Amino acid sequence: MAKEYPGTLLEFEHWFRTEESCRDYLIRLRWPDGFRCPKCASEKAWPGKRLLLMRCAGCGRNISVTAGTVFHHSHIPLRVWFRAVWWLTNQKNGVSALGLQRLMGLGSYKTAWGCLHRLRRAMVRPGRELLSGDVEVDETFLGGVRKGGKAKQNKMIVMIAAEARGEGVGRIRLGQVPTLEAVDLGAFVKASVMPGSKVVTDGWPSYRPLARAGYRHAPMVLTGHGREASSVMLPRVHRVASLLRRWIMGTYQGRMTPPRLDSYLEEFAFRFNRRKSSKRGMLFYRLIQQCVAMEPGSY
């Protein structure tokens, strides 16, 4: 079986040294069992007049290799897209839009930001499995406080769910919620945790309906006060929250806004859930696969 992804930077540069090689790789991922025309189901085609077009031998229709993918309607060359994906998945802390603009020589900050935004959307795999087993759930707050504001006023509420794997942390899910009301907390848990799982939380009243929603709810009674006591009772989610804040400050200088926060949270979860992978080329391969499976969206 042919190797699916490059293992090193030198291999990557050799594999994707031309636009044609990038196009051929996309074709292989989009049609792993061979080309099939979406209109007439013909299995034969030849290269079109343009690089990213294939002409169906059955109906004569031109099929774009990038249509219906993250790369559709993009003026960025595939070689630049592939290098952005490689860099994004091979750097421990990711890369900011300004850093990507400088690294790739992109024409504007907006172009670099749009590129990263599309890739972050693709980090959410369609149909991904829910968390299961024993799962800690808690909230944290991100963002600044306006002058004269209260301690938690104007901050963004982020929910964290973390699987317990022995003393360590398994997979995680993160999401922004508008309030700490039961309807919002319950919606996050339902979207993140498999019914029947044990959900460990603090004693906040909004978590009580989880028991009626099909979860084994285990509220913890805090024996102290403040964050220190909570971190002892729910150590995994607080470890994740600490790493999340450090990552946001280190990579993005703490600049987060509510409309785009979920995209950054998904990037953090993508990295965290694959932190033990020794094959960085596999992360590149998986993200390119998800880019092919996901429509581009608007930014």
Kindly report, residue by residue over 89-147, the tens digit of the pLDDT: 988 888 889 999 999 999 899 999 999 999 998 998 878 899 999 999 999 998 765 55
Counted domains in the chain: 2
Residue 157 and residue 223 in one domain: yes
Q: Which domain holds residue 246?
A: 134-256
Judge whether residue 148 has pLDDT over 70: no
Element (H, E) at 218: strand 216-219
Whether residues 252 and 271 fall in one domain:
no
What SS3 state is found at 273? helix
Q: What is the pLDDT of residue 127?
A: 82
- Segment 157-161 shows an average pLDDT of 97
**Which pLDDT belongs to residue 173?**
97
User: Quick one: 251 and 276 in the same domain?
Assistant: no
Shared-domain flag, residues 184 and 154:
yes
The pTM assigned to this predicted structure is 0.84
Is the model's pLDDT at 227 over the cut of 70?
no
With b for 16 or more beta-carbon neighbours within 10 A and e for fewer, the 90-127 pattern comes to eeeebbbbeebbeebebeeeebbbbbbbbbbbbbeeee
Helix or strand run (H / E) with residue 260? helix 258-273
In this prediction, residue 1 has a pLDDT band, given cuts at 50, 70 and 90, of very low
